[in-house]
Amino acid sequence: MSAIRASIVGGSGYVGGELLRLLASHPRVEIGQVTSESHAGQRVSRCHPNLRRMELDFCSIADLKPCDLLFLCLPHGQAVDRFDSIKELAPRLVDLSADFRLKDHAAYQRWYGRPHPRPELLGSFVYGIPELRRSEMRSARWISSAGCNATAVILGLYPLFKHDLIDRARTVAEVKVGSSEGGKASSPASHHPERSRCTRSYKPSGHRHIAEMVQELVGEEPAQIHFSATAIDTVRGILATSHVFLKQCLDEKDVWKIYRQEYGKEPFIRIVKDRDGLYQFPDPKWLAGSNFCDIGFERDRGSDRLVVLSAIDNLMKGSAGQAVQAFNIMNGFPEITGLEFPGLHPA
């Protein structure tokens, strides 16, 4: 079977670099073109020094040629603005921006502060978490990859919501995230004297990824998800700590059965169940460069509270790795193809 010719639109950022790294060793992919308006004509290694032996130059979007599939890694708002011209270049798209993640126009306007410029397209993209949308992805033309914070929280809590085990009015989640989540563009907040050694609450309420959590976990039922985000002094990784309150008296063994039922056969979900030693709970440090999501939990013996911990690499399972996983599903390849790297220890 011939290789899939895939091109990347917006390849100079961190996510574009991760996609290039993954696709370069994917046995069923031929990399076509990679765009960057500010680096057109330069080698991709100019932006991604880990890819020094890759003999590929950036080009302009205007020079893109037709291919089998396009990965869109453009800043928020640009994919939708260019959509009509981009969609003519490939029969299938995987968009890694937030432009098409939500299905409801009112929700988009609420969380993004403006009307969606193409509301008729909302609902045309399959939401990009394979563990939830695998069957739809198999026949999808267009996929919208999930947000990284949303991915960590959704995967951690999905079995509990699905089986209606928790009080839906009292879900509280907080993520601690590395600096790469903010992207490659510099800002006063990313300036080294400001970012180094920080533990900074940057979005204690009103984070846009809440919209994805509500869409995928809650649907139209009345419920609330309270979410906060904190920046910490690391480059990669997300640790989501979610507090939920059980509707019935379940011990940890019962909860483990639910998680094993939902995730026991998932290739990229690892349930962490050690109860002694250094590795009792998920830690994003061990996930750097991998597409895994590690999930663990602990029952608060003094209350009905269950604490769920889920960890990912934000650039992998939170972005590029998950996009390649979706790409594999779209093309009928084994999901683990090109994504077998297990992470590093020590790191």
Question: Coil, strand or helix: which one is 343?
Answer: coil
Active site residue 293: no
In three-state form (DSSP H/G/I as H, E/B as E, the rest C), the secondary structure along 25-87 is CCCCEEEEEEECCCCCCCEHHHCCHHHCCCCCEEECHHHCCCCCEEEECCCCCHHHHCHHHHH
Q: Helix 130-137 and helix 148-162: axis angle, to 10°?
A: 90
As a whole number of angstroms, the distance between CA 58 and CA 51 comes to 13
Q: Order of strands, edge to edge, in the sheet holding 269-271?
A: 199-203, 225-232, 171-177, 238-245, 305-312, 293-299, 269-271
Active-site entry in 47, 73, 148, 293: 148
Note whether 142 and 124 are within 8 A (CB). Answer: yes
Q: How far apart are CA 266 and CA 205, in angstroms?
A: 32
Residues in contact with 73: Cβ distance below 8 Å, sequence separation at least 6, in sequence order: 8, 9, 10, 11, 13, 15, 16, 19, 96, 97
CA atoms within 13 A on the CB side of 335: 20
Please list the active-site residues: 148
